[in-house]
Amino acid sequence: MKVFKKIYEFYLEGFKSLSPWARTLWVIILVKLFIMFAILRLFFFRDTLKNRYDTDEERANHVIEELISQ
């Protein structure tokens, strides 16, 4: 656990020593990444295999069939 604490403190100290415009830029980047990976995934990339097939075996067979047919 000490290693994780040291890594966290390393990045926290680096973030604190940034200039105000660089800190603002990183906040914008992190917000954009959150929007891309969390919010858009919920609305546009739904798990259709889970909705169409009940078991993992059925899902795997569908994926195999799609890969072979193309």
Read off the pLDDT of residues 5-64 as tens digits, 9 standing for 90 and up: 999 999 999 988 999 999 999 999 999 999 888 888 777 777 778 888 889 999 999 989
When pLDDT is cut at 50, 70 and 90, the band that residue 4 belongs to is: very high
What pTM, to 2 d.p., does this model score?
0.52
Q: What is the pLDDT of residue 17?
A: 92
* Burial letters 11-39, b for 16+ CB under 10 A, else e: eeeeeeeeeeeeeeeeeeeeeeeeeeeee
